[in-house]
Amino acid sequence: MDIEKTLKDKVIDAVQKIYGQIPEDKTIQVQRTRKDFDGDFTLVVFPLLRISKKPPEQTANEIGEYLKHKVEAINDYNVIKGFLNLSFQDDFWISFLNSTVTKKDFGKRKNANPQKILIEYSSPNTNKPLHLGHIRNNLLGYSVANILKTQGHEVVKVNLVNDRGIHICKSMLAWQKWGDQTDPEKAHKKGDHLVGDFYVKFDQEYKKEVNALVEKGMSEEEAKKNAPLILEAQEMLRKWEARDPEVISLWKEMNRWVLEGFDVTYNNLGVDFDKVYFESDTYKLGKELVLQGLEKGVFLKKDDGSVWADLSDEGLDEKLLLRSDGTSVYMTQDLGTAHQRYTDFNADDLIYVVGNEQNYHFQVLRILLSKLGFSWAEHIYHLSYGMVELPEGKMKSREGTVVDADVLMEEMVQTAASMSKELGKLDGFEKEEKNNIIKTIGLGALKYFILKVDPKKNMTFNPKESIDFNGNTGPFIQYSYTRIQSLIKKAKDKGISIPENVDPKVNISPKELQLIKLIHQYPEILTEAAANFSPAVIANYVYDLAKEYNQFYHDHPILSEEKTDISSFRLLLSKQVGVIIRSGMNLLGIDVPERM
């Protein structure tokens, strides 16, 4: 039921009848009435004054009077300056509620012009396990993919694994020197954790070497370049690019350990991918593109053999594309990956979910692809998100101070278990069901707390605050959902069936009316979230809906209501609120338990 479109059509009729002209569609501006004013929908009259040639208040009153008599659903109107606020009758809203019951995919759009959208998220390095920052990245990417699908688009979810480069060689070299032939099975560790330990070990030993060289009189900058460990790591990278059998064998083995570990983390986090790319494959294509650009005069080679892009015409500096020893950099492989993806999928849009510290990188990527003659470069969008920290502050992976994703998820589940025990919420549940609910609560708390924040903003993740059963949290919304399911079960146990529609003339309270209007907003919320690539829009809407429902539940008897028509209406309303809560939370990748 597209009220806005119906209203626009009626306003066009009104203007034509009253003023003798057909207004342009863009001049008909209908929006929801702001909370501090009376009304449901507001017509902005100012664009129509050119036709009416009358003051705003008079124009608004004339159109309002016409609509009140011609549109049966309109109950009344009021005018504030150039704004016509229209109020709809209760039976209109109840009829709308009835119409949602039979719509299985209520809120989702059928798109006459669907786009093929490729979205990349996760993009881990195979030298360390996933951490808290990766959790925000994965949750954002997975949720945005879900949200874009609600708008009728075809979405392809991809992961780019950064499995080559100097950082990978650091872990490999440290394993060679201090690993004593260990592996995940011997160490009783997930493979990504084990390899991450060696990345930290490299940094510790490297710093010792740098300090020793500084003490001998070398500058810190020189020491960092000439420390034996970094020189060995650079030599290992050259050997890797030359396909040295021994280096390649170790690289494959350690990458396998890490990738197996990643799969466990992804599964626990509830995210997946349609295709996984590896930089070890795409960097070659990137080098080819750079060399083609060099031949065309798009790029330049310096005396030391390194290849650069001069971006001074774009107000930027020079960008390194190939080192003097011929090895590639991140930008090189990103050029190759972008080209490969476009070849594979011919997507209309390519979205990269990457932290805001890479804003410059993606600005340059678009420019370089354009310089190489690829028109699709303008369809690259960087979904730039803010950093996530803990109350203690920033994290550094090379120093081993990051918050490990696996550890954090396990801690969230344990916290959910202790909170549930303290509140007595799961007393009497069978062990398996109790464990499943606890996991759902713990992970739901983590996911919701992160996704409720606008992606562009930096955020501090507070584990204890996230799992509170009160306030704007995942557990509060999950509990609201289970409250509705409990109500429905009690009704069935009493032999009370929930009707598929109710009498539109039933008397309802302002709080009940507000709940129906919130349900009516759901399609707009999905469209807004998709347009802004922001799961936070849905998260905060679902919280508002759950909060309104709980107030309604507290103030209005449902099963004990003596009037059957009112009791039936409240049951139907409760059921539909539950449907929207489940739908919204699922788009965020969050499960809702049927009871808790």
User: Residue 400 — very low, low, confident or very high, per pLDDT cuts 50/70/90?
Assistant: very low
In the sheet with 318-322, reading across from the earlier edge strand, the strands are 300-301, 307-310, 318-322
Question: 3-class secondary structure for 165-233?
Answer: CHHHHHHHHHHHHHCCCCCHHHHCCCHHHHHHHHHHHHHHHHHHHHHHHHHCCCCHHHHHHHCHHHHHH
**Cα(371)–Cα(88) distance, rounded to whole angstroms?**
55
Helices 245-269 and 132-149 cross at an angle (nearest 10°) of 60
Residues with Cβ < 8 Å from 43, sequence gap 6 or more?
7, 11, 28, 29, 30, 60, 63, 83, 84, 86
Q: 232-256, pLDDT tens digit by residue?
A: 999 999 999 899 999 999 999 999 9
Is the pLDDT confidence value at 402 over 80? Answer: no
For the chain, residues classed under CATH 1.10.730.10 are 405-587
For 121-399, CATH gives 3.40.50.620
What CATH number does domain 405-587 carry, 2.70.98.60, 1.10.730.10, 3.40.50.1820, 1.20.120.80?
1.10.730.10
pLDDT at 395: 45
Q: What is the DSSP string of 539-570?
A: HHHHHHHHHHHHHHHHHS-STT-SSHHHHHHH
The angle at the Cα of 457, spanning 454 to 459, to the nearest 5 degrees, equals 100
User: Residue 393 — very low, low, confident or very high, per pLDDT cuts 50/70/90?
Assistant: low
Residues with Cβ < 8 Å from 514, sequence gap 6 or more?
548
**In 457-563, where does DSSP find H-type helix?**
463-466, 474-493, 510-531, 535-555
**Cα(317)–Cα(319) distance, rounded to whole angstroms?**
7
pLDDT at 550: 97
Q: What's the pTM value of the predicted model, to 2 decimals?
A: 0.92
**Cα(66)–Cα(397) distance, rounded to whole angstroms?**
66
Quote the CATH superfamily of domain 3-88. Answer: Arginyl tRNA synthetase N-terminal domain (3.30.1360.70)
Neighbour tally for 208: CB within 10 Å: 12
Rg (CA), the chain: 30
323: helix, strand or coil: coil
Query: What separation in angstroms does the CA of 210 have from each of 165, 196, 214, 224?
Result: 21, 21, 6, 6
For the chain, residues classed under CATH 3.40.50.620 are 121-399
**Cα(87)–Cα(72) distance, rounded to whole angstroms?**
11
Mean pLDDT of the chain: 93
Q: 435-490, pLDDT tens digit by residue?
A: 999 999 999 999 999 999 999 999 998 888 888 888 899 999 999 999 999 999 99
**Cα(97)–Cα(515) distance, rounded to whole angstroms?**
10
